[in-house]
Amino acid sequence: MGMKKSAGVTMAGIVIVSLLAAAMIFDTPLSIGPDLPECEHQPGTSCFNRLALNPADDWSDYSFVALGHIRSGPRERISPNQLLRNNVQRLFTDDPRFVLSLGDLYAYINDRSLKEMSTWVNAYIPVPFFNAVGNHDIKASALGIGGLVLIGRRGGVAKYASKLGPLYFDFTVGSELFVFLHIGLGSAVSAEQLRYLRSQIQRALSDPVIINVFILNHMVIWSYNNPIMEPVFRYRHPKGPRGESSFFLDEIRPLLLPLARKKRVFLLAGDIGGSRNYLQTFYMKDEHFTYIATGMGNTDRDSFVTFTVKDGVVTMKNTNLVTGVESPLTDYGVEYWERFYREHPDRAAKVDRFRDDNPM
């Protein structure tokens, strides 16, 4: 009996200490480990592999790759996901000058995940690598006593910014402006990011050299409560946003419309994919914007998008990561999404149940 009582007290102590540690992780910044050096942000220079773009180079004919949601699941020890690790060479079929990640590099940010991602990028990505920060990229974790994983976010922002650079930034090459945002975790856009976006819009409008503007954000914010994208809004991964999350339609889109009348505007996002129940690619073009979402889920549908820019004209294609089969992005519009879930009602039901059980 004494043994059992002692074991019970010990377990209770473990739980109490773990809960105390959980409180601490929400209220104090995470320690910055020595494995990954701190990064001083320079426009066009990657904090992942320290490679830099040279604006003085010839950018009249070049390509780049965009991919999203490359993380493994929280129970898998290494990110990015295994399919990407096995097929990373496919990214370089068209000799891209740089690679753009659309967020969610790993499940949680800690010293180990940062070191693993940096090691992988340095070993397999021989061009500058940039990331539009995802929610998991700043989701902090620590291993509590008893093996409990403790999760917070306050320390994760500072840790990411210190090691991998700011949460929003930009660079220009040739006739293209690339603007990386971090919007969508809440139901509103910060005044600071709105000011930053306005400044980039004015920059593009005042520069006759800029023809194409790429705006990258992890969350698929342009689908939120957008009736023309109802299937994406309904079946996007991992769960639906709050009902009042219409800030793209209400605030951001009106800001971008004057820009879209003068320049070509591409809106990229990566918060789709995640499992076999979710689709990995979306494309839509209207009179103002081109919308593209690409994400992975360690499935046979995983893919990435290659952009080619020649004399200011942008062309795009989707490439299956596993098979290498190329297809036009126009294959992945609203009709594709509607057809997929109509033909797979079991997956539609699973997605609907997940959304209903997990309101934000």
Residue 201: what pLDDT? 98
Size (the chain), residues: 360
Hey, what amino acid is at 322?
V
Least confident of 49-63, 146-160, 172-186, 214-228: 146-160
Domain containing 321 equals 55-140+152-357
Mean pLDDT of the chain: 84
Mean pLDDT (whole number) for 228-253: 77
Q: Is 235 exposed, middle or buried (0-12, 13-18, 19+ CB in 10 A)?
A: buried
- Whether 16 is in a domain gets the answer no
**Is 80 exceeded by the pLDDT of residue 287?**
yes
Mean pLDDT (whole number) for 316-322: 97
**Is 80 exceeded by the pLDDT of residue 323?**
yes
CATH label of the domain that carries residue 330: 3.60.21.10
Query: What is the separation of C-alpha 23 from the centre of its chain, rounded to a whole number of angstroms?
Result: 28
- Whether 296 is in a domain gets the answer yes
Percent of the residues in the chain that have a pLDDT greater than 90, as a whole number: 63
Our count of domains for the chain comes to 1
| Three-state DSSP string of 30-75 | CCCCCCCCCCCCCCCECCCCCCECCCCCCCCEEEEEEECCCCCCCC
- Whether 11 is in a domain gets the answer no
**Is 90 exceeded by the pLDDT of residue 346?**
no
Both structure tokens of 26 = 């929400």
- Whether 308 is in a domain gets the answer yes
Please write the tens of the pLDDT for every residue from 20-32.
Answer: 333 333 333 344 3
**Is 70 exceeded by the pLDDT of residue 360?**
no
Residue 51: what pLDDT? 97
- Whether 20 is in a domain gets the answer no
- Whether 147 is in a domain gets the answer no
- Whether 109 is in a domain gets the answer yes
- Whether 272 is in a domain gets the answer yes
Nearest-angstrom CA–CA distance, 316 and 122? 26
